[in-house]
Every structure is written in C-alpha cells, then in structure tokens.
Amino acid sequence: MRRNEILILLFALLFFAIGIYFYPQMPEKMAEHWNAQGEPDGYTDRFWGVFLVPIIALAITLILLAVPRIDPLKKNIEKFRVHYEGFMFVFLLYMLSIYMQLLLWNIGIKISFLITMPIAIGLLFIYIGFLFDKIKKNWFIGIRTPWTLSSDVVWEKTHRLGASLFKLSGAITLVGIFVPEYSIWLILGPIIVSSIVLFAYSYLEYQKETKVKK
C-alpha cells in the first residue's frame, strides 16, 4: 500500500478508538438524528450510536481504497491520484466532524448542527470542485452519465463546469453559518440544481458532438 493509503486507513480506524474512549460516557439511548430545526428526533441503542459511524467510515474508506485497483481505467486515476487521496482525507474529516458532534451532544455539549453542518458540507463541496478540476475519465469517480462515459470531450467539459458549480455550491452552503434557520435549504438547493444542470449539460454536449461528427 502507498504511504498515504496507510495513513487514510489509520485515520478511519481512529474512529473506533474514539468510540471506545467515549462509550462508557454515553447514555443507553443516544440521539442519532436531528431534524431541519436542529432538534434530535431519532434515538438508538448505545452500541449503534457509538459505532455505526466508524463502521460506515471504514466501509466507505475500504471501497475508496479499492477503486484505483479495480477500475479498468486505473491509469487515468493515477493522473489525479494525489487529489483523490486528498478527497479521502477531506471526506474522513467531514465524517469525523459529524461523529464528534454526535458524541459531544450525547454527553451534554450541545453544539447546533445548523451551525456546523454548513461548514463541514460546504468545505466538502469546495474540495470536490477542486477534485473535478483534476479528474480524468474513469468508471467510479466523478460525474458519470451515459454521455460523459461515452465521450472524452463531454467528460472534460462537464467536469470543468462541475468544478465551478461545486465550488459555488460550497460557498452558498457556507452562508448557512449566518442564517442557520435556512441552512438546510442552502445545503440542498445548490447541489440539487447543480446536479440537474450537469446532467442536462452532458446530454446537450453529447448531442452537439454527435451532430458535428455526422
């Protein structure tokens, strides 16, 4: 394994060490879901409340580590491998921020998710935008529509637009820090609109390319 991959795997395993440390301090029933007003509306048993996020984080990490090894276009992934590994670190930081807030809430340190989630998600979106600036065609990572996967040109154009839209979505999401009552809409709205725009754009660019070839 590459050095960065080992560090990423150790980072994912750190979640379990944190969970073991906090486990004795947790109540038997833990808050594990919050509504759009930032109030807990879902509870679970202590074991799953403490260890579900570490299990999910480790599972996703193992999948992401496997991608460069199983993708038929693995040579293309090597061209942006550093940025891809950077994404894994950023994603785990995002998961860690959620996990720590969940644990702290359940021991009485109640920081509003309406404040922290815009920061975590906004920064994640922005990094994805930077990743899209570097990404090369592959079967697992990026904006995978039938048209981006069918044309190198459409892939490049769509990801160039996607880079800008995700950075913009991240910036809009960060505004939720200042207007927490609207943070859920500032998170969902931009990314939904961006996804629709990119889907339609890839189709239109493919149709344009097909007509030129004819």
User: How does pLDDT run across 71-86, given as a tens digit for each residue?
Assistant: 999 999 999 999 999 9
- Last residue of one domain, picked from the residues 96, 111, 126: 111
- For residue 83, which of 146, 141, 11 has the smallest C-alpha distance? 141
CA pair distance 163, 130, nearest whole angstrom:
6
User: Is pLDDT above 70 for 214?
Assistant: no
The DSSP 8-state label assigned to residue 98 in this structure reads H
Both 146 and 91 in one domain: the answer is no
Residue 49 contacts by C-beta under 8 Å, 6 or more apart in sequence?
26, 30, 31, 32, 102, 106
Both 57 and 13 in one domain: the answer is yes
Both 152 and 97 in one domain: the answer is no
Both 144 and 203 in one domain: the answer is yes
**Two structure tokens written together for 158:** 């769509």
The 10 Å Cβ neighbour count of residue 9 is 16
Residue at 78 is within a domain: yes
Structurally, how many domains does the chain consist of? 2
The domain in which residue 188 lies consists of 135-214
Both 8 and 107 in one domain: the answer is yes
Percent of the chain whose predicted confidence (pLDDT) is above 90: 88
Q: Buried b vs exposed e over 105-137: b needs ≥16 C-beta within 10 Å?
A: bbeeeeeebbebbbbbbbbbbbbbbbbbeebbb
Residue at 116 is within a domain: no
pLDDT tens, position by position, 118-172: 999 999 999 999 999 999 999 999 999 999 999 999 999 999 999 999 999 999 9
